[in-house]
Structure 1
């Protein structure tokens, strides 16, 4: 099924993971000529708490309306995807890798940017160096704080040791990670790491549609550096 609204078209897709899970996805394409060689793969927040690809729709739409193909999907156990969600997001790493490989094959691209939100940022970060075609990473509200690290701490080593360019965006009032915790985590991180702090924004505010435009501007600016 495909929909078109003048600035972008949206179509559904089904992606088979390497361990047999069927993932439900959406592809947002510019209706005019693509002006970017990078394709964005977006990873939604924690599915155990209701996270789904619909939360990434605003960013995906805005990216495609500005010339970037964007792909969203429901991780295992979310939306119409089958399988079972894992508590720590460990199984979902394979979902991200499978979607990236599908994108590489479908669009014959060797330039993918991974964009994750909240727990999706942690999961996406663990997949960055497992997909050669990923050339950059954006973490929106990465859960670096002590309490959430009980669930997602195992993901941190992968992204912090990755030499690939990374952008971390966080609200200064994020309830899960303080600005100091973010800075401490990144001070010894490998590669080129950029941070952008949104003054006064909380963790869940950043996931809302009011911030989608700002997120897209930051992502597009980051893409120009890749």
Structure 2
């Protein structure tokens, strides 16, 4: 059994983010997993990560999903580059730190959410690790997200990047 609570998190620039906390019946750890959804411009929203969040909560983890600016019930407008959305990740993690008092936060980004989450890793002291699912590579994604690559590659925090059917790119 998993309990879900909905809250609104406000960013420093006033965007209201629709956020969901998936709570386990039996808490196995004081870490919180934050899931960052795919590209809003192409239809990404937090509901795409509900299955992963539920699965994590069933295994004793608190999991948090949220709609980045312009997605779902969140206010604001999405960007093409993902840079304003980094503020969304930071705001949610700050809210988690202030409200849930975790030992640490693990960021999990899916598709275009992976470079956005990766760019936020070193902006949040409480983030202890990063997992990328389907990190977008290639010519088109390098135009949109290429400036995000260096942020995660320079980070010394624990990380695993999985892209497509090719396997693991980087593991620290």
Separation in 1, partners of 2:3, 2:67: 19
List gaps (5 residues or longer) in structure 1: 1-6, 173-178, 187-192, 195-226
> Moved runs in structure 1, 4+ residues, more than 3 A?
none
CA distance in 2, matches of 1:148, 1:138: 18
What does residue range 145-156 of structure 1 map to in structure 2 within 5 Å?
145-156=138-149
User: Which residue does the alignment assign to 1:96?
Assistant: 89
Give me the whole-angstrom Cα distance separating, in 2, the residues matched to 1:140 and 1:148: 15
Quote how far apart the aligned CAs of 1:104 are: 0.5
Q: 1:53 aligns to what?
A: 46
Once residues 100 and 64 of structure 1 are traced to their aligned partners in structure 2, the CA distance between those partners, rounded to angstroms, is 18
1:28 aligns with 2:28: no
Question: Cα distance, 1:111 vs. partner?
Answer: 0.2
1:144 deviation in Å?
A: 2.5
Q: Does 1:64 align with 2:54?
A: no
1:79 aligns with 2:51: no
What per-residue deviation string (whole Å, max 9, x for no partner) do you get for residues 44-102 of structure 1?
A: 00000000000010000000010000000000000000000001111000000000000
Superposition deviation, residue 168 in structure 1: 1.6
Q: Which of structures 1 and 2 has the larger relative contact order (alpha carbons within 8 angstroms, sep 6+)?
A: 2
Deviation at 1:110, TM superposition (A): 3.8
2:18 corresponds to 1:11: no
Higher Cα Rg: structure 1 or 2?
Answer: 1
What secondary structure does 2:91 align onto?
helix
Report what 1:214 is aligned to: none
Mind listing any 5+ residue stretches in structure 2 that lack a counterpart? none
Q: Report the 3-state secondary structure (helix = DSSP H, G, I; strand = E; otherwise coil) of the residue aligned with 1:147.
A: helix
- Aligned Cα RMSD in Å? 1.4
- After TM superposition, the structure 1 = structure 2 runs for residues 1-226 of structure 1, keeping only pairs within 5 Å, are 7-32=1-26, 34-172=27-165, 179=166, 183=169, 186=170, 193=171
